[in-house]
Structure 1
Amino acid sequence: MDQKRELTSVDLVALTAELNGLQGAKVDKVYLYGDDLVRLKMRDFDRGRVELLVEVGDTKRAHVAAPEHVPDAPGRPPNFAKMLRNRLSGADFHEVRQHGFDRILEFEFRREDQDTTIVAELFGDGNVAVLDQNGEVVDCLDTVRLQSRTVAPGSQYGFPSARVNPLDLDYEAFAAKMRDSDTDLVRTLATQLNFGGLYAEELCTRAGVEKTKDIEAATEDDFRALYDASERLLDAIRAGDLDPRVYYEPGEDGEDRGERVDVTPMALEEYADRPSEAFENFNDALDDYFTNLDTTEEEEGGEAATRPDFEAEIEKQKRIIQQQEQAIEDFEAQAETEREKAEALYGHYDLVDDLLSTVRDAREAGHAWQDIADTLDDAKGDVPGADAFAGVNEAEGTVRVRVDDHTIELRPEDGVEKNADRLYTEAKRIEEKKEGARAAIENTREDLEAAKQRRDEWEAEPEEERDEEEEDEDVDWLSRASIPIRKQEQWYERFRWFRTSEGFLVLGGRNADQNEELVKNYMDRYDRFFHSQAHGGPITVLKTSAPSEPSNDIEVPEASKRQAAQFAVCCSSVWKDGRGAGDAYMVSPDQVSKTPESGEYLEKGGFAVRGDRTYFRDLPAEWAVGIACEPHTRVLGGPIDAVVDQVETHIEIEPGRYAQGDAAKRIYREFRERFADDSFVRKVASPDEIQKYMPPGGSRIRD
């Protein structure tokens, strides 16, 4: 018999009742082991230390563990664990709920400033999602984007489609579900009524009916006996009338019992012939079972849970480098293709010129695009240039030409030279992206070397010192007498920039030249373009991919969009004019053009925007400037919601009467008072450096 590795829906009915006895316990600390085991260290007035484990990997479980069964503290916490600590430290455990009859638990925590719910998905691939009080995902271990539901930061948490809940069925509904089946009794209970295989067999045994009897041969007496058996089982579990057991394989060589194979909240008739051990409560039984579960196979594939998975991080960085190297090759091929197209135009100059002239004359004569296409298709072999004709794009007003194995889209009104120049310019733009990819590879190689160094340092460090380091990992940087300076320059730092609360990079031009550069060189097809309604604002681009990566169509959470729009407003004349709020809009890159409307003129750094816009109204002119101490020491600035979780300390500002330089000096003095290491502030956050991360115009510190 295979060992049980996942809790069943029936198990969770029993478990939630016991866990709710912990209401009022306070969270001290949260740990994440690997990418699937969350540990919540709590303290209860009556019980003292309480250790709640939630695992969602190959093993799927949730229970309170004895302190001696808790894995040793891991190394430096990842961002997910840090986020949980920020939200849950000092919070009260309020309750745990099972979602319907699904293998989903909702752990609700309450704190004076905010409530947090942890959703543990103990089915399928498993997942843990952290929700705010509005049900929006703050973060999750794995992102899920399906047609039926979404689990991603910034989106509303989507539960799976509701399944039948036998707890809610009366006899008539139960019998109707059974009759609708086309299989036997036990399979119907397991799949249609969602009891699962073990408890479906248990109900048949308790009801005294033949498990494999076909539904068509079953009688009302069979259905009634099964319903009554399920009611007795579920009523006893809900009432807390439990008899928790850990079951074993029969022993060999004269032993009474072998390895543990199952854990249940009730003694089961299906296991009557198996050795078992009774426990006072279900949590203790779960703790005993999963602590002694044979995970040898899993451990052979990786390190123990207490050791950070350095190899996974190293392999990840290697994969990124491979992708970046492939991107460079792709950029080189794309640039070469654009140059070949331009040279092909000149190589067939007369042919292409005749075709463009023919199309241009026909358009000036009032002929429709489709009529022109039909005429040229019919005239191939007779009209000059018709043989090179490959079609038209009526929406874009272009004609497609086929020369030297290249299909090229051309603007008839531009002639051969301008069309060729456009292709050469595009080749140059792609070449510039290749240079950005090369710079990104160097950064990734540094990250790879840093991961290797962390691994080497861990392996060289005596094991007994690691627990001490863990206790000190949440460093109080403000009170430290000396803070190490760790800087890493990034390619985007010459622009205005910040990262949203979901990690998206947002860029803004500091002048007209940078506005032009952002759109031409750094805005890809799936990015988002923002601009304030007020004049004088920067071109703002929310990046959905790095310059070294292929552009992908991904969903951008609403919170990130709003933060990018607020950034555009704060960096516009709204701030300079001392207004408290402003509007901004968002469009896709294909709606942005350097071609003005007829009779209009675009200044340098200006662009024409066509089509529908998504508006963000009454965005507050509020800003935060903060200092980050890890993983890199630096000043950060941007919308308050985006900045606060990325820095050690921050100062909020709004439009005011102090010139930007004077306001930066006031912020600098405030930071120096907050840090014990004032030399650190002087080196990292000088007034000149702070000024780079402030909106243009006068400011004041908010009360």
Structure 2
Amino acid sequence: MAFDGITVSCLRKELSDKLTGGRITKIVQSEADELLLTIKNNANQYRLLLSASASLPLAYLTDKNKPAPMTAPGFCMLLRKHLGGGRIVAVTQPSLERILHFHIEHLDEMGDLCRKTLIVELMGKHSNLIFCKEDGMILDSIKHVSLAVSSVREVLPGRTYFIPHTQEKLDPLTVAPVEMVSAICDKPAPLSKAIYTTLTGFSPVMAEELCHRASVESARPAGALTAPEREMLSHQLLRLMETVKDGDFEPRIYYRNAASVSTDTTFSQFGQSLEPVEFSAVPLTIYEEMNAQPFESVSALLESYYATKNTLTRIRQKSSDLRRIVQTALDRSRKKYDLQSRQLADTEKREKYKIWGELIHTYGYGVPEGAKSMQALNYYTNEEVSIPLDPTLSAQENAKKYFDKYGKLKRTFEAVTTLLAETKSEVEHLESVQTALDMALSEEDLVQIKEELVESGYIRRKIGGKKVKITSKPYHYVSSDGFDIYVGKNNFQNDELTFQFATGNDWWFHAKGAPGSHVIVKANSRELPDRTFEEAGRLAAYYSKNRGGDKVEIDYVQKKQVKKPGGAKPGFVVYYTNYSLMIDSDISDIRQVD
């Protein structure tokens, strides 16, 4: 997704319109690289989220609050000291850089009015939040950058702030279009690449868009453009920059495989079922064939897409300990399974030893003393066999030796068969937990998965610790024909849905031979139409290890046919008769209920 200079310009306009003149009433550093400012302006209260995350740098207005840590970090305390009660006098953007400057007035310790600047740099792994005096001296930053980390610029208290110009680019807001096109065509590169490496604020997507608007092939060498093509490119560049200068933005997200989207579509719906391709602050003609969801503000757009993506990133980080525990246990169980499988394979010759012992008993009376082998007719197969003998033992002792081997391998076979079934069950259980971790979208989901690992013995419960309160609930969808469909997020929810929530005539769906969710369709004594069967099958395919597959085999059966063996692990069931269908895992047209 292109969080480029044009999108930042759209964001700057929104923040300037809503926050200029407002007072900062609260500052919270909710994460190590994230701030949440509360601002009151014109009888309205706004929350401004600023994140310098290397993977997801963000800035937008949000309605959601975040809890403050018990002890505020030093950077947060410094901002509270200087900016608490301060008034935002302007929000600016240098050129079309991915940088925002919040100019703030406040009273110092002597009661004199002074200005400070909070700078937000949204530059991928180089993102930062920097607090400066009016003269540009850095007071502090949320990330300290020394010369040992960057040879281009130090970001440390006492240093002077500047924007590093590692690539000399032209400012499209001030340079004439003809001059910009001339510089673009001087570059020995494809046209689209020449555009975004020449102009500040242009992403590869916006460069492709400019080529499309000018009806010029983006892959053509920039120097090969004809005079009319250069003129058309200059004209379209001028129109685009006029849109940016006038603030005539139209934020929207473009989707692939989406039947339709509207302004009231939530991320929890499209995040699970639709595939976002790109977002932009201006209409993208290169995606005119795709469905677009318009937004009233770029903050709403960014929150709708990036905020939840940021949540998922942090959920993955917070689930890393659980993932490591599960992966370690899974690796150990798989090694155990392989070892036990080899041990079981070694017992396959046990019957041969039993037969040899019987044949020696039957024909051994004629074997001379000290013989190393004997020939005998196997009366089970009517074939001649050669049986090795220990020349130091008598025929009866050789027979006993083979019977002893048979007895040992038989006991091993019986023991290993039981152990192998237990190990296989353990592997399947851990794989199902791993799949549940991949589907987790909130900390509440992780709490329930952790509780399952505690109860299964993979995590030790703290001394005096009590069973945690579970607030996570299954997903709820409604089919096109109005039937309620429920999807378990983990094994505990799978058991609850199947054996406590569902009734006998409800329908149960699950991906065949793969870890995944139990899907329940509430029949309510009605006959399900084919379309509902297909939609429930798609949900079972999507919420399984086979997500993304074009052809996923799904087993489905009425709930009364599903049984849980005594002592079985959470989520494990058996059924002896079922229907099957082959379906894809596209759930974009299935409505999710919050």
Normalising to structure 2: TM-score of the pair? 0.48
Structure whose CA Rg is larger = 2
